[in-house]
Structure 1
Amino acid sequence: MQTNQVLDARGLNCPLPILRTKKALNALQSGETVKVVSTDPGSVKDMTSFCEQTGNRLLSSQQAGSDYEFVIRKT
């Protein structure tokens, strides 16, 4: 899946992956996407909750080795 931006949040713990994701989304136009890569296992629940609360769309969530990858579309 092609994205407009990739955010490397590996090595960061809660709440930093969410805060960086929020900042990245603020810089995007509506309909654009960001891929977030994190190593924090808590980010799976956090990204889901974040998208539900902000209205942005979580297009995919998967684990790739020790990384958690999320693709979010800005609404």
Structure 2
Amino acid sequence: PFLLVLDEVNVAVSMGLIGVDDVIELVKNRDETNIILTGRNAPHEFIELADLVTDMRKIKHPFDGGTEAREGLEY
């Protein structure tokens, strides 16, 4: 089996860059590939479809101290 990570795909969906149905189609039509969807505010359709859902929360982040987004990490 393979692993496909769609990093920040939930954000892309919320911004209208990709449709919920497009992601659902990809997930439903996968072979033995494991797919990880990341990002804030997952659509309820993704949560219903998922085998595992983890809710992470920020405790501390460099942005809190004024650090700007860093190439290679945040984008």
Normalising by structure 2, we get a TM-score of: 0.46
Q: Which one has the largest radius of gyration?
A: 2
Counting strand residues as a fraction of each chain, which structure ranks higher? 1
Normalising by structure 1, we get a TM-score of: 0.46
